[in-house]
Structure 1
Amino acid sequence: MAAIIIVGAQWGDEGKGKATDILGGKVDYVVKPNGGNNAGHTVVVGGEKYELKLLPAGVLSENATPVLGNGVVINLEALFEEIDGLEARGANASRLRISSNAHLVTPYHQTLDRVQERFLGKRAIGTTGRGIGPTYADKVARVGIRVQDLFDESILRQKIESALDVKNQMLVKMYNRKAIEVEEIMDYFLGYADRVKPMVIDVEQELNAALDRGEHVLMEGGQATMLDVDHGTYPFVTSSNPTAGGACVGSGVGPTKITASLGIVKAYTTRVGAGPFPTELFDKWGDYLQETGGEVGVNTGRKRRCGWYDSVIARYAARVNGFTDYFLTKLDVLTGIGEIPICVAYDVDGERFDEMPLTQSQFHHAEPIFETMPAWDEDITGCTTFEELPQRAKDYVLRLEELSGAPISYIGVGPGRDQTITRHNVMKR
């Protein structure tokens, strides 16, 4: 039995999709426990690139059952567009299973998300405008719509009417927008009810029964540690808990059944959207990392902000997630750049911080304290073992491991599924 959690250790886009794809072929279930279609994964299989937004990367596995857990918020239109797109390319999404307790993104959530961001102006959070935040807000306020509501028209109508009583007041009186009709939302949801119904199961019961049978479950977190609503750079965060504890809540698998917590971390750092970023680069090296690393958001098309590796954040992520291992991605991007700075601590108004500062204000004013290491010039994209890496590349990996709070068990040396070095197999823990 193994229940493994995959968590982004930075601000997202670390390569979680690749990690899930590699391990997903060896497990029985791949679960997405949180998030929505506001973050994506890029997976390269057989030379073909797949950009997944709502579906877990395990949907591309021939063996694993992909699951959307109760902690996910689901845009049904986006879901079926993604499924249809995959099946048109020969992929099989028929094994997808969805929790009856997952909440649904409505058209009014998307409308509110966009108008609220515009209303905030320069104080905008930098959301994707896909309605994720408002959907989670309704979930916490206990006025949300869940997947199971699609199968009882009376309950569905009552919930929509109750929601629109408030939402339309906001849209019309605060934002000068047109009111949304109840029938419009009813027709939208009922148009998907028959198609989604065969996919809906009791996910909590199914996953725990699978673990009791000795099967393997992989939980693929969306977003990342520094975007966690509790542990991230609030308020520039997502609306859920994409940390390891959130994976348990969003899947119904208890923490005593977790055998490994795998943090995904880039060999440098990126961020999409607003918010503090201590190691961010505004020079030629920032441009180099963006261009060479292909740092463009899968879901938004926005260029990612780029900076050097931040070991303060890595240690923090290891602590709050209880990482047993790290998966280091995109090591190949650093080939041939001369010297590689590593952030080992922060300077905040003359005071050194080796760990995360206590307050938002301190973190906002943090200046990185760097040490540098020499880069390597050799092509590493064909390396299959740690020993094959150039000595300078090995030294860099070992230094990051020393600084980051958990052993680096996997190393990505290229975008392909087979361009990964395995030092320790988490499936055997």
Structure 2
Amino acid sequence: MDKASEQAKGKGKIGSTLKGIGPAYMDKTGRNALRVGDLLREDFKEMYEQLKQKHQVIINTYHFTDDISADEKEFFKAVEFLKELNIINGEYFINKLLKEGKRILAEGAQGSMLDIDFGTFPFVTSSNTISAGVCSGLGLAPQHIKDVIGITKAYCTRVGSGPFPTELENADGQKLRDIGKEYGATTGRPRRCGWIDLVALNFACMINGVTKIVMTKADVLDEFEELQVCTAYSKEGQELTEIPLRLDLDHYVPVLEKFEGWNTDISQVKDAAALPEKAKSYIDFINSYLGVNVDFISNGPERDQLIVV
């Protein structure tokens, strides 16, 4: 296989962590998955065996011959441990708390552009990662959602394959990766790094109903003399400020606005007024573009390194 073919094949990979999330969701949508409540059924092992046989037929086509008996033993040990926990009907539990006046913080997992419905399909995860997932995931009605806090880095990263218009495959990209320690938490893979993409961020704010933004890792940009911000995508001379219906973003080039970097250590700054003027200009431009304000700026990994704007 020539180099070009190898690269094309690599770009076609979804970039999965290979931890089994996809097959688990296939069982769910196939309506034969095992659910937590099933652990309490007397026929749980029979249900498990039926599902196991279904999967056995599939993996036999790949000539899979590994002995999984040790894994099964660990699985059933884990099942017995789970049965010792307080298994509850979560929908009733959480709605009862709301009626009692309790405040609930729901934390999303993964980025909005990895959403199965609205992300850069097929380079996405298997579930809904946007704020609507709070309703379908927890059994909460939409009217209970008050603030939606959007979390964004001061630049862009991505793990695995998929479109990334602002990706920097150069020294600046490596600099972002090294300073920001951008390596996958699950896999250890180096994250792809690039300038902040306001087209994608604006889309994420829209579909999530973001009411305020927390910008993390602003201090990672401290050592850059020049920063760039993507304000549109360009293809064959035409500019686009919306995510295209056909997600062929590899055929678009980013339209970039340049800013002078503040080139100053901001990790010790406690007050927004003390930020360098060039940092303020960077934030102000983002606020103006999005129509949603950055209310908090994280300037380091510690809990107290959070500037209230």
The AA in structure 2 aligned to 1:274 is S
Q: Does 1:410 align with 2:299?
A: no
Residue 49 of structure 2 corresponds to residue 161 of structure 1: yes
1:369 aligns with 2:274: no
Shift of 1:292: 0.5
Query: How do 1:213-362 and structure 2 match up within 5 A?
Result: 213-361=100-248
| Correspondence for 2:5 | none
More relative contact order, 1 or 2 (CA 8 Å, 6+ apart): 1
Contact 1:164 1:180 in 2 (8 A): no
Match of 1:149 among 31, 34, 38: 38
Q: Give the distance between the partners of 2:88 and 2:275, measured in 1 at CA.
A: 46
Which structure 1 residue ranges, 5 or more long, are not aligned? 1-120, 424-429
Deviation at 1:184, TM superposition (A): 6.6
Residues 290 and 306 of structure 1 are in contact (CA less than 8 Å); yes or no, is this contact kept in structure 2? yes
Alignment partners' CA distance in 2, 1:358 and 1:364: 13
Matching residue of 2:23: 134
TM-score (normalizing by structure 1): 0.67
1:203 to 2:90 alignment? yes
Quote the Cα distance in structure 2 between the aligned partners of 1:149 and 1:276: 39
Question: Aligned partners of 2:247, 2:267: CA distance in 1, in Å?
Answer: 39
Letter in 2 for 1:382: Q
Query: Is 1:150–1:189's contact at 8 Å kept on the other side of the alignment?
Result: no
Give the letter for the 2:277 counterpart: Q
Checking the alignment, whether the CA contact within 8 Å between 1:271 and 1:304 is kept in structure 2 is yes
Amino acid in structure 2 at the alignment position of 1:347: S
Percent identity of the aligned residues?
Answer: 38
Are 1:157 and 1:186, in contact at CA under 8 Å, matched by a contact in 2?
no
The superposition leaves residues 175-200 of structure 1 with CA deviations (integer Å, 9 ceiling, x where unpaired) of: 1102777x777644431234223232
- Where 1:222 maps in the other structure, the secondary structure is coil
Distance change in 2, residues 1:199/1:383 (3 Å): farther
Query: What is the rounded CA distance, in whole Å, between the counterparts of 1:352 and 1:386 in structure 2?
Result: 34
Q: Map 1:86-97 to 2 at 5 A.
A: none
Q: Distance in 2 between matches of 1:350 and 1:298?
A: 39
Counterpart check, 1:384 vs 2:273: no
Range with greater deviation from structure 2 (405-414 or 266-275): 405-414
Give the drift of 1:152.
2.1
1:339 partner amino acid: E
- In the TM superposition, residue 146 of structure 1 has moved relative to its aligned partner by 1.1
Match of 2:76 among 190, 195, 201: 190
Q: Distance in 2 between matches of 1:177 and 1:152?
A: 30
CA contact under 8 A between 1:280 and 1:307: conserved in structure 2?
yes
Structure 2: which 5+ residue stretches go unaligned?
1-8
Aligned-partner Cα distance in 1 for 2:19–2:52: 18
Q: Deviations over 1:241-263 (max 9, x none)?
A: 01010121101111100011111
| SS at structure 2 position matched to 1:250 | helix
| Root-mean-square deviation over aligned CA pairs | 1.7
Measure the CA separation in 2 of the matches of 1:262 and 1:276: 25
What one-letter code is carried by the residue in structure 2 that aligns with 1:255? P
Letter in 2 for 1:383: V
SS of the residue 2:183 aligns to:
coil
Instruction: Measure, in 1, the Cα distance between the counterparts of 2:280 and 2:87.
Output: 46
Q: Which moved more, 1:333-342 or 1:399-408?
A: 399-408
Question: Which residue does 2:6 correspond to in 1?
Answer: none
Q: How many Å separate the matches in 2 of 1:161 and 1:336?
A: 57
- Contact 1:143-1:159 at 8 Å conserved across structures: no
Aligned residue for 1:345, secondary structure, equals strand
Q: Compare CA radii of gyration and give the structure with the larger one.
A: 2
Per the TM alignment, residue 205 of structure 1 is displaced from its structure 2 partner at its CA by 1.4
Superimposed CA distance per residue, residues 38-67 of structure 1 (whole angstroms, 9 cap, x where no aligned partner): xxxxxxxxxxxxxxxxxxxxxxxxxxxxxx
Shift of 1:346: 0.4
2:230 maps to a residue whose letter is: C
Matches for 1:34-113 after TM superposition, within 5 Å: none
Structure 2 Cα separation of the partners of residues 147 and 180 of structure 1: 26
Partner of 1:66: none
> TM-score if structure 2 supplies the norm length?
0.92
Q: CA deviation at 1:157?
A: 2.2
Amino acid at match of 1:127: S
| 1:247-296 C-alpha deviation (Å, 9 max, x unpaired) | 21101111100011111111000000011100000111001000001001
